[in-house]
Structure 1
Amino acid sequence: MGLETGTLLAAFVVGLLGGVHCVGMCGGIVGALTLSTEAKQVSQRFGLAPFLLAYNGARILSYTAAGAIAGGLGWLAISWTDVQWAQSILQVLAGLFMVALGLYLAGWWQGLVRIEKAGGLLWRRIEPLGRRLLPVKTLPQAFVLGLLWGWLPCGLVYSVVIWSLTAGGAIQGAALMLAFGLGTLPNLLLMGIFAARLAQFARRPVVRAAAGLAVMAYGLFMLLAALDIWPYQAL
């Protein structure tokens, strides 16, 4: 069963709103990757655009793989237990993570930092591989770096991975994370070009609060739907 268009759109919007976090979390990485690029012939002809696209395309591919894994695990959990009970538990968990993510984006609660620190155990093993690829001289190098970048510990990404547990299967989970990844793309592409201005805008409390409240609202909607308090199913 495929995901509803509304669910994919919601995942895209979460990625777009999460840009306020991406600027702080990945701004340094984007700067380091672009400054380390030594492929002058390509840069002079097309600018940094091919490298930014390679980095980000590969990053989104890693997100999609993570979504496929999570969606498959969620499907197994539902298959091996009572379907309705397991699905409700996963939906409640996803809703709680969306609310936590909203608080995190708004800067009102930093609990997801602990999850990022836990993910740092995996990142410590991956990061040395990326360092070997610097400085970037070719597009394939940029692509491989992007694949590694996709596994950077991030509360925003982890929250949507938890959401993809409820997607209904590996393909659906992959689609959910793909939509989310595409939502993060505008911010991270612009970051490579207008990093300073974008960072200044994203640091404004009103911008962070608006993004956080929007994500929290969707998380509460997911919770109400999972608990049968809301008359309609979550998008």
Structure 2
Amino acid sequence: MIYSGLILGFLGSLHCAGMCGPIAFVLPLDRTNAVRRFLQLMGYHAGRITTYALIGVLFGLIGRGLFISGMQQRLSVVLGVIMVLAALFPLIGKAGNNRILAPFYLMVSRVKNALGERLKDRSPATLYTIGFLNGFLPCGLVYMALFGAIAMGSAWQGSLYMALFGMGTIPLMSIAAYSGNFLSVTMRNRLNKAIPYVVILIGVLFVLRGLGLGIPYLSPSDMNLAVKAGADCVTP
């Protein structure tokens, strides 16, 4: 199941190319040297993956706490259902007017300002920093991936899941950086409409994982998921 992060990232990068593509279009890449441009672009991707991996550690720890309580199998089902429902019934409200979320939007504003400043800088470390900041920008697809990180049940697996998610976005985001605005508005809209189907697919996979239907690798019956709070004692 950990590889579903790579699948979500790759298929979901259709959305990334439409939403985060504008950032890739204006990256301060060296257009005169192909090798240097490639290394700069990989630095940008490395920055994004670093952010995703760090966030994955946090959410993996949250999942770990729930797994120790013996909730791993049920949690996998619940998170899968949430992903499916989120794709079917997106909550597009006027959340920006909510005072509770004001600190979050303030943080996002600061990240955008910092990102804008870095886009003016052409120093070697710039591309990594831009990618690192880019990883903190709000993205519904990233939120879906974080559900997967929670379901992994440990810090390192949550981090790996998010890193694989980031790696999955590399091909299309690289094309966007190299080719510029290669997607028309109409095509972006069509791609965005396809994203919910990708999220639903990943959600169904998590539900199957939690049901333990005896399907090898996909839904093993024993799940190997139960984490006991206490150790078994064996008296010789």
Match of 1:70 in 2: 59
1:183 equivalent among 168, 173, 182: 168
Structure-1-length-normalised TM-score: 0.76
CA RMSD between the two structures: 2.9
2:233 aligned residue: none
Identity among equivalent pairs (%): 26
Which of residues 50, 57, 63 in structure 1 aligns to 2:39? 50
CA deviation map 1:63-92 (0-9, x unaligned): 01111111012112333x3x1xx2234313
What whole-Å deviation, never above 9, does each CA across 1:77-132 have from its counterpart, x for those lacking one?
333x3x1xx223431342134324644xxxxx532677899554431232232233
Q: Contact 1:136–1:142 (CA<8 Å) still a contact in 2?
A: no
Unaligned runs of 5+ in 2: 220-236
Shift of 1:13: 1.0
Query: Is 2:8–2:202's contact at 8 Å kept on the other side of the alignment?
Result: no
The residue correspondences of 1:1-235 to structure 2 (distance < 5 A) are 7-32=1-26, 34=27, 37=28, 42-46=30-34, 48-79=37-68, 81=69, 83=70, 86-100=71-85, 102-103=87-88, 109-111=89-91, 120-199=105-184, 202-203=187-188, 205=190, 211-227=195-211, 230-232=213-215, 234=218
| 1:144, distance to aligned residue in structure 2 (A) | 1.1
Q: Which amino acid aligns with 1:67?
A: G
The number of residue pairs the alignment matches comes to 212
**Equivalent residue, structure 2, for 1:106:** none
Secondary structure of 2:181's counterpart equals helix
Inter-CA distance 150–161: structure 2 relative to 1 (3 Å threshold): same
In 2, Cα distance between equivalents of 1:115 and 1:9: 32
CA distance in structure 2 between the partners assigned to 1:115 and 1:179 by the alignment:
30
Change (3 A) 1:193 1:8: same
Distance 2:203 2:95 in 1: 18
Shift of 1:194: 2.6
Change (3 A) 1:199 1:102: farther
